Structure 1
Amino acid sequence: MTDIGKYLITPKATVLDAMSAIDTNAKGIAFVCSDKKITAVITDGDIRRYIIGGGDLSRNVTEIANKNFKYLTETDTVDSDLIAAIKINYKAIPVLDAEGKILSIVFADETASLPHRKLNIPVVIMAGGKGTRLYPYTKVLPKPLIPIGDVPITMHIMQHFERFGCTHFTLVVNHQKELIKAYFSDPEIPYNIDFAEENTPLGTAGGLKLLDGKINGTFFMTNCDILVDADYDKIYEYHRKSGNLITMVCAVKKITIPYGTVSMNESGHIGSMVEKPEVSYLVNTGYYVVESEVLSEIPKGTFIHMTDVVQKCMDEGKPVGVFPISENQWSDMGQIDEMEKMKEKMVGGNGGY
């Protein structure tokens, strides 16, 4: 029996509260309820569009939730046609009693869900850094080969992209590049892998210049120390529909200040106090969708970071967008404590979510 409690939020919840609930239930949906009586429905797509539009995550969820939603009554029959309709048109459909209170939720069978579209888009993995924040691990292995479970982090990245039909990878390498090339030259690795070799450190974007004229159209770009567990198809589709030159995937990072904060009024007295307030920011994950014309914006043989390239495009008035994801969909092993958290996310620590 499904515990419906984890899908329910109160009308007093904020948009950020709804996002947390959706993260927890992992079904992409939450129901706004008062005493189990549904008043509105909100999905991860609703929240994403709200964030893209500059919405305030501290606002009440009822301001953006859908009040005209599909539902069933307890006398309705759940058949194969309904399940097919849910797979195509809905995240889920609630079943309500005569008073409008939720009795259960009908989800499409996850094992019969529609397959991901095969994107077949090239992927560039920036794998040239020294990984100094991961010492002493990187005194032995280059950062792209640090294992998470039994599999190197870069192989995890490739496996995630493979789910969406992306099997052509270019690794931009520098530090310990011969070791990296030797590992990924194994003929048993089922991907098309090539290398762009830096002679000197070029930052998180300078090495892309090596691909100028060798890569055309849209490509994915990712740092070699992060994992994004999201729908890459949706990210790509948003990038194309928005007409962006670059789309930066950003996570909503929640930070709790561990103290009571105090604000002063004009007379110099305490105006308000908030105990351990929570703030949120959009944080760059190090994952991008990029058009190849961006490569012309990168100077040859110059140390430059991707954020500098993004800023240059913005200064020139070129379209740069953001695709927001939840904090739980992003793992970063750039530092040792974060690497341990990444390992904890892996099922059984054996290399799979």
Structure 2
Amino acid sequence: MKVIILAGGFGTRISEESQFKPKPMIEIGGKPILWHIMKWYSKFGHNEFIICCGYKQQVIKNYFANYYIYNSDMTFDFSTHGKVTVHSDHTEDWKVTVVDTGLNTMTGGRIKRVKDYIVGEPFLMTYGDGVSDVDINACIQFHKESKALVTLTGVLPEGRFGVMDIEGSVIRSFREKSKDDMGWINGGFMVVEPEALDYIEGDATTWEREPLEKLAARGRLSCYKHDGFWQCMDTLRDKEKLENLWTAGKAPWKF
């Protein structure tokens, strides 16, 4: 199945790095988080990607235009008129379509702009700033059995702040917030039927609002619950957490 990755936002909450590059190109372990997401899908046999770009889209295009060079050992012999020799090839079996979906286009609009690359087939979709150890193919099977037009992966995020246990107005204890204190949220990693694109009006449509809300009201939106690892990269603190997991060899999304 083709995989759409939304990678066009401004990433303002991690502006320390996004001022120089789009958020999906911020690196974890020396590789863009976009690469980590793609590697996870590839693990399940999904190797055709459509990247919906916007902000600093040229950075993403340049990355894939030179991907072969970045990931191979090469000799540049200028004594023989710049002869180039490739000694090894560490690239993936990927087909990547990079589309400029507009600078200010909303998420729904970005999806609709790439509909010609979907050609009426069900597709996978996620955001370009979150990693997980979700079983992609199990999610697909769940979607097929649900008969929904869209299945999203529901996750339980870790809380950032501690919780106070209170009786009346008396604080009895402090503790770390657990997943039990949180509700399920949209973690991305969706399976989408092409008919769902009819719920998107245009560039100003936010996918998570009108389309998903209408689908939910009509009973055509399902949730594949994933209680394993999931982490988005909204802030520099999130990036540092992911970096530490990768460096320590404890990244649950490692392939």
**For the superposition of Structure 1 and Structure 2, which TM-score range results when normalised by the shorter chain?**
0.7 to 0.9
Whole-angstrom distance in 2 between the partners of 1:193 and 1:296: 25
1:251-292 CA-to-partner distances (Å, cap 9, x unmatched) read 12354752222259xxxxx9xx87457523112213211111
1:212 matches 2:115: yes
Alpha-carbon shift at residue 348 of structure 1 (Å): 3.4
Instruction: Answer yes or no: is 1:243 the counterpart of 2:143.
Output: no
Residue 308 in structure 1 maps to residue 188 in structure 2: no
State whether residues 132 and 138 of structure 1, in contact with CA within 8 Å, keep that contact through their aligned partners in structure 2.
Answer: yes
Aligned residue runs from structure 1 range 69-218, under 5 A: 121-186=1-66, 188=68, 189-190=91-92, 191-215=94-118, 216-218=120-122
Q: CA deviation at 1:344?
A: 2.0
Amino acid at match of 1:310: L
Distance 1:280 1:168, change over 3 A: same
The TM-score normalised by the length of structure 2 is: 0.79
Relative distance call for 1:177 and 1:337 in structure 2 (3 A) is same
Change over 3 Å in CA distance of 1:213–1:142 after alignment to 2: closer
1:4-83 map, 5 Å: none
- The CA deviation at 1:184 is 1.4
* Rounded Cα–Cα distance in structure 2 between residues aligned with 1:253 and 1:153: 19
Kept in 2: contact 1:310–1:320 (CA 8 A): yes
Are the equivalent residues in 1 in contact too, given 2:125–2:192 (CA < 8 A)? yes
Q: Which whole-Å deviations, capped at 9, do the CAs of 1:152-183 have from their partners, x for residues lacking one?
A: 10000110001111100000011111121111
Q: 1:276 to 1:314 in 2, by over 3 A?
A: same
- Aligned partner of 1:344: which letter? N
**Using the alignment, how far apart are the partners of 1:314 and 1:230 within structure 2?**
22
Distance 2:229 2:212 in 1: 23
Q: Following the alignment from structure 1 to structure 2, what is the Cα–Cα distance between the partners of residues 128 and 173?
A: 4
Match of 1:325 in 2: 226
Tell me if structure 2 keeps the 8 A contact 1:201–1:303. no
Aligned: 1:260 with 2:165? yes
- State the superposition RMSD in angstroms: 2.4
The alignment partner of 1:135 has SS state of helix
Q: Contact between 2:157 and 2:230, CA under 8 Å: does it hold in 1? A: no
Most deviating of 182-191 and 206-215: 182-191
* Other-structure match for 2:191: 289
Superposed CA deviations along residues 218-254 of structure 1, whole A, max 9, x for unmatched, are 2111110001212111111101111111111111235
Contiguous gaps of at least 5 residues in structure 2: 69-90
Aligned residue pairs total 224
In the TM superposition, structure 1's runs of 4+ consecutive aligned residues that sit over 3 Å from their partners are 253-257, 273-278, 347-352
Tell me, yes or no, if the aligned pair for 1:125 and 1:224 is still in contact at 8 Å. Answer: yes
Find out whether 1:334 has 2:234 as its counterpart: yes
State whether residues 212 and 296 of structure 1, in contact with CA within 8 Å, keep that contact through their aligned partners in structure 2. no
Write the deviation string for residues 26-49 of structure 1: whole angstroms up to 9, x where unpaired: xxxxxxxxxxxxxxxxxxxxxxxx
CA distance in 2, matches of 1:347, 1:242: 38
Question: Counterpart of 2:9 in 1: which secondary structure?
Answer: coil
Structure 1: any 5+ residue segments left out of the alignment?
1-120, 265-269
Q: Label 1:262 to 1:304 Cα distance change in 2 as closer, same or farther (>3 A).
A: same
Say if 1:332 and 1:342, in contact at 8 Å, map to a contact too: no
Higher radius of gyration, 1 or 2 = 1
- Alignment correspondent of 2:132: 228
Alignment-mate amino acid for residue 238 of structure 2: E
Residue 323 of structure 1 aligns with an amino acid whose one-letter code is: Y
Q: Which digits, 9 at most, give the CA deviation of each residue in 1:288-340, with x for residues without a partner? A: 1111111111112324233432102123x1411111112x5102111111111
What amino acid is the match of 2:100? E
Once structures 1 and 2 are overlaid, which stretch shifts more, 190-199 or 121-130?
190-199
Q: Is the 8 A contact 2:8 2:103 kept in 1?
A: no
Q: Relative contact order (C-alpha < 8 Å, sep 6+): which is higher?
A: 2
Q: Residue type of the partner of 1:346? A: W
> Which residue identity lines up with residue 290 of structure 1 in the other structure?
V
Identity within the alignment, %: 24
TM-score after normalising by structure 1: 0.58
Q: Which amino acid aligns with 1:203?
A: M
